[in-house]
Amino acid sequence: MKFTIRKAETKDLPQILELIQELATFEKEPDAVEINVKDLEKAGFGADAFYTCFVAEANNKIEGMALVYFRFSTWKGKTVHLEDLVVRKGTRGMGMGSALYKKVIAYSLEQGVKRTEWVVLDWNTPAVEFYERSGANVLRDWDTVQMDENAMKSYLER
C-alpha cells in the first residue's frame, strides 16, 4: 500500500481522534480519552500551537499518526516528546509506523533538540524491541509519575 507522511491539517482531526481512541483501547484504557476534535484543533493549530502532528495517509484516509511537542531538560535543554505513535490495526506491518518514527526523529534534529523521548508500556514487547533496534535507550530504572486534575486539586486543598 502506498502512503505519504505529512504534517496534519485540521481536516484530519476527526480521524486523528479515532486513532487516539484506538490507541487508548490497545493500551487497556478505552475510557480514558477526554478530548475532542475542538480540543485538538485549539491545542495544535494557530499561533499558539502546543503540538505538532504527522500523519500517514493512504487512499485519502489517515492510517497513522505521531504527535510530538517540545519539553525542556535542565540537563540537555530543548527536547522533543513523542506523545503517541499509532497505526490503525488493519494497516500495521506496512512500514507506516517506521516512516512516522523516522519523521519524528528527522523533525527533532531539524529543530536542533538534544534528545527525543517518549514512554512505552513494558508489556508492549514489539514496540520496546523496535525502539531498541533503532538505537533508542529504554530506561527501565525510571518510573512515570502523573497527577490527574482531581489529584492536583486534592493536593492543594490539604
Instruction: State the CATH number of the domain containing residue 85.
Output: 3.40.630.30
Residue range(s) defining the domain that contains residue 48: 4-156
pLDDT at 1: 87
User: What distance in Å separates the CA atoms of residue 115 and residue 122, rounded to the nearest whole number?
Assistant: 21
Number of folded domains that form the chain: 1
Contact yes or no for 38/30 (Cβ under 8 A): no
pLDDT at 9: 98
Q: pTM for the complete prediction? A: 0.94
pLDDT at 143: 86
Is residue 131 flagged as an active site residue? yes
Which positions of the chain have pLDDT values less than 50?
none
- Choice among 101, 107, 131, 155 that is catalytic: 131
87 CB-near residues (< 8 Å, 6+ apart) = 56, 63, 64, 96, 97, 100
DSSP string, the chain: ---EEEE--GGGHHHHHHHHHHHHHHTT-TT-----HHHHHHHHSSTT---EEEEEEETTEEEEEEEEEEEEETTTEEEEEEEEEEE-GGGTTSSHHHHHHHHHHHHHHHTT-SEEE----TT-HHHHHHHHHTT----TT-------HHHHHHHHT-
